[in-house]
Amino acid sequence: MKLLLRCLAGLIGLLCVTSCSLEHDPRAALDDPRFEETADIILEHILLEDADGILELSYPLATEEQLEKFPAGLRDAFTYLPDAPDRFELFYSEVRIIPDQPDAPTGRALVYEIGGRDDTFAQVILVLFPHESECCFLTYIHINQFESPPSQIHDLSLKGKSVFHYIVGFLLIANPLFLLATAVFCLLNKKVKRKYLWIPFILVGLWGFDFNWSTGKFAFELINFENGMINIQFFSIHLLGAGIVKYGEFAPWIVSIGSPVGAVWYWVSARKGPASKMPEEF
């Protein structure tokens, strides 16, 4: 029993560590303060919807055609801003390089959240590069509208989530605990033969589903219907019957839950007594 409790405590600690959100210092890439200073000036122009002011900070090597289209494109982008925008906040930055030019100066990508008095939001992406000895100039700008804070859209939380999020969150904890407890009982059961086969079989989940924490959408692994196509996955395995992964700062958390076939099979067959053993075909 002590062994079981220790294993359960260790698993809970492991799940707590792996389920933590990816912490990112929004100023991690801003070793040169001039990037943020230039970005702040551009953002002030954005809040004022001043396309000409932003144009003055554009990259000197931009073509005439690009410069002609730039103000009109910006004015269209301004329509995605919240009504009466009154604040902005940096929540991500990263270093940008020019492909195939290892000696070229590096730039920075900065992602901001803009909020308005009407509780609507926008995400602004700025890419800045130095030119010769001067810093910094705008090479890319993108504005997108959001109904909720873009910095929190992929948070791993239950705030405002559906009942399915609670069910999946429960399975994320309960499934590994069930598999681990079953494996411990199997190990301590002297009547069970071929434990070296049973325990690995118990500790994995087969097939199951993936759950997008941000959108609340399910994707079943064995048979999945998507875009008018039928996708069949002939084999899928999940260690401890569950997993959680995030593929980037702007990617959603994906929770995977596997079917505890081995654990259920053990409890059903274990009731038969000493004859319980791993099937020959496994």
Q: Which of 277, 99, 250, 282 is nearest to 189 (CA)?
A: 277
Segment (H or E) for 69: helix 64-78
Question: Domains in the chain, ordered, with CATH?
Answer: 2-21+155-272 (no CATH), 33-152 (3.10.450.50)
* Residues in the chain, total: 282
pLDDT at 251: 81
pLDDT 10s digits, 201-226:
999 888 888 999 988 888 887 776 66
pLDDT at 66 over 60: yes
Q: Which of 85, 101, 102, 76 is nearest to 48 (CA)?
A: 85
* Confidence band for 179, pLDDT divided at 50, 70 and 90: very high
* Confidence band for 282, pLDDT divided at 50, 70 and 90: very low
